[in-house]
Amino acid sequence: MQYRTLGRTGVQVSTLSLGAMNFGAIGRTLQEDATAIIDAALEAGINLIDTADRYSQGESEEIVGKAIAGRRDDIVLATKAALPMGDERNHKGGSRRWLYTALDDSLRRLGVDHVDLYQIHRWDPTSSDEETLSALTDLQRAGKIRYFGSSTFPAYRIVQAQWAARDNHLGRYVTEQPGYSILQRGVETHVLPVTEQYGLGVLVWSPLASGWLSGAVREGREITTHRSAVLPERFDLSLPANRARLDAVERLAKVADEAGLTMIQLALGFVNAHPAVTSAIIGPRTLDHLHSQLAAADTVLPADVLDAIDAIVTPGVDLAPEEKYDTPPALLDPSLRRR
């Protein structure tokens, strides 16, 4: 396992991180299996575990908390808040009111007195940067969080938050967590250059593109990944974007074969080759999944393989742009672009 410095924090984290989204109802990975996965990941040298209050409405945090009891100090523990937790209108977002409550709830579920990295899961257009950063700074000074970061923020919002922190003498986001894979390269255009400019650590989610790059999705095979059952429209081959993804996967499989790599090694080696990326978050549901992904821990792709990938999926291009999560709200809601 290799390690990199998380932005400008001085904290060393493994180039593969363990994502806990599948722990609980979402991935149907329950306590015993999740604990075995965490045990094996830590044994392999992974030292960062990433979860969120939203994952199975808190169940993931509870599972992680039980699994790490007694060894918390050896783990860089990250969680998130801001996505809705129930139907009450104020149980979401980046307000001081909600972040204080959400963090206390997360600490209780995790069974800890602080988290190392607290992330705003999505930008909240209803809360000002000053409001959110002020609350996070005070929580940091109270010792409940060591650092804070953003997740899936558009590039301009990353910049605005950095300016707001500077102008108001507040703590700043030290990390960003974007979606990034061979098939979804849009963040290369604006987000990753911005994170490099401001020295942010980058924790990449969905480097296997929801299973498209796991090796399980190929032409002529029935698609049976867990994500295909949860989000069938993302694997509907009658849709042009999915057809484009499958065509790319077939060509990428040939590149992997010629290089003596698995598709997983190709996919994880690709994201970790970008100079802005600190760590790729893997989200195994089973021990077998974990071991197949750990095999990529030390994969370094040579220039000719990276060039071959660029020839298949153009740098800076998302093959499924409608699946982005950082689209400005006014492009999604017509009422926000009408007077």
Catalytic residues: 55
d(CA 214, CA 57) in angstroms, rounded, equals 27
Rounded distance, CA 303 to CA 255, Å? Answer: 12
Contact (CB, 8 A) for 37 and 290: yes
The string of DSSP codes covering 116-150 is EEEEESS--TTS-HHHHHHHHHHHHHTTSEEEEEE
Any idea which residue has 């602080």 for tokens? 114
* Pairing mode of beta strands 145-151, 175-177: parallel
* Cα distances (angstroms) measured from residue 106 to each of 52, 62, 117, 268, 285: 8, 9, 12, 29, 22
Inter-CA distances, 294 with 75, 210, 252, 330, Å: 18, 17, 20, 40
Give dist(CA 172, CA 146) in Å, integer.
12
**23 beta partners:** 29
The Cβ of residue 47 has, within 10 Å, a number of other Cβ atoms equal to 20
Return all residues near 237 (Cβ < 8 A) that are at least 6 apart: 243, 246
Report d(CA 272, CA 281) in Å as an integer.
10
